[in-house]
Chains A and B, each alone.
Chain A
């Protein structure tokens, strides 16, 4: 069992409330996943590259990180430390060098992109959301996950969302049965998962398909042929939001749409506080059917 929530805004008016709405949705899914929680939020673009990094010893690790990085990258770097995470704003074209820098220092990269920031930790969703101040965050869309671990350990890196490409993230309810096989295939293609987690394999799969030129819908369609097991996936890209369920569709899913937003929840109760939910179109996504929205 796990809990998934997602919110994709169609109008800008709700942008300042995105974090607040997502936090309430996430907390209602605590029963489905009390082990860890995470959220990917697509906020304002800065013109550069945002990189979210994590450390278990933030006070030591993040001290002077921005200055050291600026020197190596040869350009201005700003840093916003949020609990165990830091969001770095880097000059364009420096991602590879920045990733090498992090790797050498043992700092974990949670994700990178023009607008996506990603925060995840072990603990109850309400505590994780409070530590990162998710309520105060604005943005165009976001995806959250509460995890009840089955396929790999309860760790920060095993928490969802998984990001394996710029501005891409994926969350998963279910368990994959061919992830070891797919891990080998994806590693050969240059999309090697960093953990033993089955969900990260799915994220790498989507990233590989997008890199090959597929659009989000085509990449999601591919999961139905190439991934075996139980899954409800919700995927975010810089401009898009997608959902797909496996053909058996045991893992629960419900969606709601109004003129203002598209929302996803593992259960209806995740929607209870959304504005206009009483008159929203609410439906259960069909098995083996891809749903996606792009702006």
Chain B
């Protein structure tokens, strides 16, 4: 059995391999499609940099993005939408006297990109009027190269009939379940080609492929209705992942849970030991660890929107805050295979990184971009960006976004069954339901899709109307058991929101199941 220490060591070795291969396309043996550069995009990007420099920028980057997004949605035996969207444009970011400006255009001509570059410089100059300290960027080595998400089959190229047939077969299977009257299912498929050029000499083109399936069934009976959404993780993989899910083969089992919920016992509010499956816990990690460890948040940059962080100021928390028990290790990375946040370089040309945000229960480091490094370098000793810069479109400015943030498995390879067997009175919680957390990430509320009572080490029937409402420091310090390596599962989302104007980010979170002692559970049923 691999110990946790070994697991981390292995991860570190992997990071070294990644670092060594950064100068060229990664893992070529896994690719079925070669990563490609885009000469037209490169030329436009360099044109934009020249215009920005000529207009007075001390630093500039230009990002040409070509996005293809396909969405298919169905309900019962019919199709509710098939759409295919292409978006192509360039965003130019400039520094003049230490102030940022950004302009974006879909006019992809030399004149068009030069105009955008000059507009960005104009914005930089306008920002000077309200600037107190100049932006400083941590150094990064110039890089030239290409990379592509390793896939076996490009999901966009799969015939639309096959995609629709797969979803309708899943719906048909679900509708076999008595009292299941409504089913929706869908596929979100995405291919992004991004070229980044910077005045530091970086020129890279990356192709990202991501897939996100969904399934939801609703049962009606006895004057009630209950839904069950299967937690199907989005992945940075190709069509082979969708096929591996066997949605048509599993849909009947999933839908049966919606029908079973109609007869489930309504939970009695109170304190319970919770065993939280990875299909639910990934989101709790996202909200209560992922967001508060964003450095821009801790520094107040999100104060007017998503909020700040209880982990502030940094000098009072780095190496001091006890987040949870000693076996709690939280990794930030943009390297995990199949994760949706995986890249070779971020949107500032910084190589993908992997590091510990929490080590042995103690908070160690934040998520960073180039301009943020200097803010905490003296506290962490880290002089590089962790590579967390991302923009969701050519028309959006890049800023600090969450990488994959994951709870590493425990030393002992415990299974979920082991956790249940060790629990006398508790509730097992499966899949993501409703979620909410305060603007400094203390007080949260999470529900799920299926809940089971645990009595005397055994599952003792289904519950409904369950939500756990707790606060971050209490909750993580109440964790007393976690599963091992073989119980680790990677969940995630395409749609994490942050920033003004709002941007979305795709992020994965891996974790084993874990047990939390005496957490507050509320009953969510109300009658009108």
Chains A and B come from one and the same complex: no
| Interface residues, chain A, with chain B CB atoms under 8 Å away | none
